[in-house]
């Protein structure tokens, strides 16, 4: 047995000198005498692209239907039904990917990387809900977004988040948006997808981080309404700003507000604005000074934050795998760390000189210094803008759904007596009385 073995090995050794060039095969493929035929490597096809277009079509139809149900029919039940359908279709069936939130990154990459082109179906996912927001407000959030649907579904006992806290918490969403765009534009990572909290539930599998993040958000969501939507969703920021401009939007009352105050606690998401009262006399002078102060502060904030973002180009750039590889190789070459990692081994196997990699990393640093400055400036602008928005006096005479924050869920309709009047009228019309 061992003799056969060593003879076989010896034969293999004899085979070795008969090698051809390197870059070709060590063991030349055999020529079979028994009529054996080489099987082919199988290549099972991926899902047909038609499914992607189907998804885009379903999205558009759902948006149209949602706007009808939210603005015309004004039926919470119908909205809830559409929301559950969206959860099942876009969430469980299509596994939550690709979604408009992630599509921000694809669109950004298309703009900044000429080698990548966003698939048309994904572009529809990005553009359609924003167009709908321009016309009808955040109807996407109300009945179509699967992430919103899953949070809405678990909301059992809403408790109110203090209004003054909301503006501060919302800054997380702005940061997420800015960072997401920066890292997508530089080709570093799609962090919006990486930290998508609910994808694990749609796929019924995921790594620890995603499951823990998602479970925590859902547990919070049992009591705090739609925490991701309100305080984390980067797409929500885009929707907010477009929804403010919308042609038609959610109104609590179908006709006019009689200020009965019955809808004050209707919104679990804190999106109902009360009418404002006149301030005492001295307050206006203070408010004017405050406004002037924040106006001056705004450019300072933008400049300071922009400079900070510029200065952080090193850590920001580290999100990019090439920069991480360059740092690792550099540390090894200069003897500051012992041993090698898979990354540095893989790099050395390519035969590129390390200087090439350092040059690539230096270039990325340049991109991140500009990008970091822009991100910092953006965050400074947002902060300054928030200060200003909180210093400006608004005049409201009615109870209204905040145009930016209203998630179009339709819960507030049945709190309004005018709505009940409308329902009775339509019932009578149906009954033919």
In the bound state with other proteins, the residue whose beta carbon lies nearer, of 261 and 428, is 261
> Which residue, chain included where needed, has tokens 């501060």?
168
**Does position 175 bind other proteins by CB under 8 A?**
yes
Q: Does 308 bind other proteins (CB under 8 A)?
A: yes
| C-alpha atoms less than 13 angstroms from C-alpha of 204 in its C-beta half-sphere | 3
Q: Which helix (H) or strand (E) covers residue 151, if one does?
A: helix 146-154
Which is nearer to other proteins, 62 or 375 (by Cβ)? 375
Using the rule CB under 8 A, which residue among 58, 354, 374, 423 binds other proteins?
354
Segment near other proteins (CB under 8 A); pick from 62-70, 187-195, 224-232, 424-432: 187-195
For residue 401, the cross-strand partners are 272
Where does residue 166 rank: exposed (0-12), middle (13-18), buried (19+ CB within 10 A)? middle
To other proteins, the closest distance from the beta carbon of 253 in angstroms equals: 13
34 binding other proteins? (CB under 8 A): yes
Residues 100-129 binding other proteins (CB under 8 A) are 102-103, 105-107, 110-111, 116-123, 126-127
Structure tokens at 77: 């039940």
Buried b (16+ CB within 10 A) or exposed e, 47-72: eeeeebeebbebbbebbebbbebbbe
As a residue count, the chain comes to: 433
Least distance to other proteins from the beta carbon of 399, Å? 11
130 alpha carbon, distance to own chain's centre: 14
Torsion-angle region of 19 (φ positive above 0: left; ψ -120 to 50: alpha; else: beta): beta
42 touches other proteins (CB under 8 A): yes
Q: Is 387 in the site for other proteins (CB under 8 A)?
A: yes
Residue 397 touching other proteins (CB under 8 A): no
Near other proteins in 281-300, by CB under 8 A:
283
Residues 6+ apart with CB under 8 A from 227: 151, 217, 220, 221
Q: Which of 54, 81, 321, 428 binds other proteins (CB under 8 A)?
A: 321
Q: Does 204 bind other proteins (CB under 8 A)?
A: yes
Instruction: Decide: is 157 part of the binding site for other proteins (CB under 8 A).
Output: yes
> Shortest CA distance to 241 belongs to which of 170, 303, 308, 289?
170
Minimum distance between the CB of residue 425 and other proteins, rounded to whole angstroms? 19
Site for other proteins in 54-93 (CB under 8 A): none
Asked if residues 267 and 250 have their Cβ atoms less than 8 Å apart, the reply is: no
Question: What letter would DSSP give residue 433?
Answer: -
- Least distance in Å: CB of 376 to other proteins? 8
The residues facing 400 across adjacent strands are 273
Looking at beta carbons only, is 171 or 374 nearer to other proteins? Answer: 171
According to CB under 8 A, which one of 25, 57, 61, 258 is a site residue for other proteins? 25
To the nearest whole angstrom, how small is the minimum distance from the Cβ of residue 327 to other proteins? 5
- Contact present, 147 and 415 (Cβ < 8 Å): no
State the nearest-atom distance from the C-beta of 65 to other proteins, in Å.
Answer: 21
What single-letter DSSP state applies at residue 189? Answer: -
Q: How far is the CB of 433 from other proteins (least distance, A)?
A: 25
């Amino acid at each position: 047995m061992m003799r056969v073995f060593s003879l076989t090995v010896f034969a293999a050794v004899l085979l070795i000198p008969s090698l051809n060039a390197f870059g070709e095969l060590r063991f030349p493929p055999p020529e079979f005498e028994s009529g054996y035929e080489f099987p082919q490597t199988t290549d099972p096809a991926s899902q047909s692209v038609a499914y992607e277009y189907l998804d885009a079509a379903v999205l558009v139809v759902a948006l149209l239907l949602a706007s009808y149900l939210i603005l015309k029919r004004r039926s919470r039940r119908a909205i809830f039904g559409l929301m559950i359908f969206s959860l099942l279709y876009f969430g469980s069936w299509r596994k939550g990917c690709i979604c408009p939130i992630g599509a921000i990154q694809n669109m950004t990459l298309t703009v900044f990387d000429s080698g990548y082109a966003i698939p048309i179906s994904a572009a529809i996912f990005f553009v359609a809900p924003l167009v709908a927001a321009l016309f009808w407000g955040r109807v996407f959030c109300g009945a179509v977004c699967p992430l919103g649907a899953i949070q809405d579904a678990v909301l059992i006992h809403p408790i109110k988040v203090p209004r003054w806290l909301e503006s501060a918490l919302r800054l997380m969403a702005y940061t997420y948006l800015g960072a997401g765009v920066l890292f997508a534009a530089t080709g570093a990572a799609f962090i919006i997808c990486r930290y998508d909290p609910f994808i694990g539930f749609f796929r019924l599998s995921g790594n620890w981080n995603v499951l823990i993040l998602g479970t925590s958000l859902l547990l919070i969501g049992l009591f705090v309404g739609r925490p991701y939507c309100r305080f984390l969703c980067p797409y929500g920021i885009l929707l907010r700003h477009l929804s403010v401009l919308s042609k038609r939007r959610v109104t609590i009352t179908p006709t006019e507000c009689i200020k009965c105050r019955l809808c004050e606690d209707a919104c679990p998401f804190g999106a109902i604005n009360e009418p404002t009262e006149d301030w005492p006399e001295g307050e206006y002078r203070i408010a004017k000074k405050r406004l002037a102060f924040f106006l001056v502060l705004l450019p300072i904030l933008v400049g300071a934050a922009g400079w900070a973002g510029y200065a952080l180009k090193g850590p920001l750039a580290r999100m990019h795998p090439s920069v991480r590889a360059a740092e690792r190789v550099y540390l090894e070459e200069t003897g500051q760390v012992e041993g090698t990692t898979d990354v540095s081994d893989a790099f050395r196997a390519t035969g590129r000189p390390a200087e090439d990699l350092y040059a690539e990393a230096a270039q990325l640093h340049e991109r991140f210094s500009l990008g970091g400055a822009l991100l910092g400036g953006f965050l400074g602008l947002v902060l300054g803008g928030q200060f200003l928005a909180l210093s400006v006096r608004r005049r409201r005479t009615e109870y209204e759904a905040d145009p930016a924050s209203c998630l179009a869920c339709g819960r507030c309709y049945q709190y309004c007596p005018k709505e009940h009047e409308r329902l009775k009228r339509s019932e009578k019309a149906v009954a033919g009385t």
